[in-house]
């Protein structure tokens, strides 16, 4: 009886393995048939990973917001306790800080804009203006980024003084080689959280595909030239999804480095809720209203 149970269990295990392998082989076979084998294989592997790890690679924005708050809070405590060892990332001149975080919103826009255009082309449903309307969400995000950063700079200027006499402004103080001491709300903390939550909100389109194990269906079938480039558009959409997921985890790492190495506790603790509050206002309140750029739309899916 025991031997029979073992044989049955072994058959069930083998069946599950074959099912998993078949599922991998069949991923988007039709979409990649017309492309070169090397590229197709890479995209098949990426899609397989995403379908099995989408909860980790594409977490829900609300859960991510809580995680980011924890990173800022715990990292700020560690910074004030001065227990973190020095590393390459502890210096403000490191390449990721100089060319990454300082241009953070620019990098976010450079990847998110083509992604949203591609997603819009695949789901425009004969209404081209919807593509532009979706991109308006990025314009709103850019407005809030600029407005908050300018406010942070103004607060630092009003509350600060130069550590040498004769320099009434921050610009003249720093140009002379001195230091300006003011209440410097962490712009890096704001930019990183603002970028992360914006990316994850917009990637909820792809999360639907991966979580439901389905394919993108082109809805602009009345446009002949789009029919001819449809497979390429789908592959480009997957590529930009990969790049955005990578960018998310890079920004998360840089937020951790910012929390443990830079700024004071109050500077970061104030910047984090401002970024999260901006996200909540836009995506959870305003975008749900009629007179707004609108919420993130659902992709048309097919089994």
* Residue 216: DSSP 8-state: E
Q: Answer yes or no: are the C-beta atoms of 78 and 260 closer than 8 Å.
A: yes
| Residue whose token pair is 């082989």 | 25
Q: Is 34 exposed, middle or buried (0-12, 13-18, 19+ CB in 10 A)?
A: exposed
* Rounded Cα–Cα distance for residues 245 and 199 (Å): 8
| Residue whose token pair is 């955005």 | 244
The question of whether 60 is a catalytic residue gets the answer no
Residues 6+ apart with CB under 8 A from 90: 84, 257, 261
Q: Answer yes or no: are the C-beta atoms of 161 and 184 closer than 8 Å.
A: no
The question of whether 188 is a catalytic residue gets the answer yes
Residues 6+ apart with CB under 8 A from 161: 180, 181, 182
* Rounded Cα–Cα distance for residues 73 and 62 (Å): 17
Point out the catalytic residue in the list 60, 79, 157, 188.
188
Point out the catalytic residue in the list 79, 194, 263, 267.
263
172: which 2 tokens? 């003249």
Q: Where are the beta strands (DSSP E) in the chain?
A: 161-162, 180-181, 215-216, 301-302
Residues marked active site are found at 188, 263
């Amino acid at each position: 009886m025991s031997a029979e149970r073992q044989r049955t269990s072994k058959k069930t295990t083998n069946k599950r393995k074959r099912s998993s392998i078949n599922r991998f082989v069949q991923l988007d076979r039709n979409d990649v048939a017309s492309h070169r084998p090397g590229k197709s294989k890479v995209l098949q592997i990426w899609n397989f990973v995403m379908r099995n790890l989408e909860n980790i690679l594409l977490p829900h924005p609300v859960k991510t917001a809580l995680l980011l708050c924890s990173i800022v809070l715990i990292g700020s405590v560690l910074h004030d306790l001065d227990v973190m060892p020095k590393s390459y990332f502890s210096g403000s001149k490191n390449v990721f800080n100089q060319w990454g975080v300082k241009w953070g919103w620019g990098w976010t826009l450079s990847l998110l804009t083509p992604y949203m255009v591609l997603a819009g082309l695949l789901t425009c449903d004969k209404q081209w203006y919807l593509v532009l309307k979706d991109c308006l969400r990025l314009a709103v995000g850019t407005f809030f980024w600029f407005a908050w950063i300018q406010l942070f700079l103004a607060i630092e200027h009003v509350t600060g003084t130069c550590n040498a006499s004769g320099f009434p402004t921050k610009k003249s103080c720093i140009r002379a080689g001195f230091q300006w001491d003011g209440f410097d709300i962490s712009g890096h903390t704001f930019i990183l959280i603002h970028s992360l939550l914006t990316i994850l909100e917009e990637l909820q389109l792809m999360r639907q595909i991966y979580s439901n194990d389905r394919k993108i269906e082109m809805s602009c079938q009345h446009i002949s030239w789009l029919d001819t480039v449809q497979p390429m558009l789908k592959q480009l959409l997957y590529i930009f999804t990969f790049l955005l997921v990578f960018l998310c985890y890079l920004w998360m790492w840089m937020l951790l480095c910012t929390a443990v190495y830079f700024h004071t506790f109050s500077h970061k603790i104030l910047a984090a809720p401002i970024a999260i509050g901006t996200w909540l206002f836009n995506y959870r309140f305003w975008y749900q209203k009629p007179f707004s750029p609108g919420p993130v739309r659902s992709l048309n899916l097919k089994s």
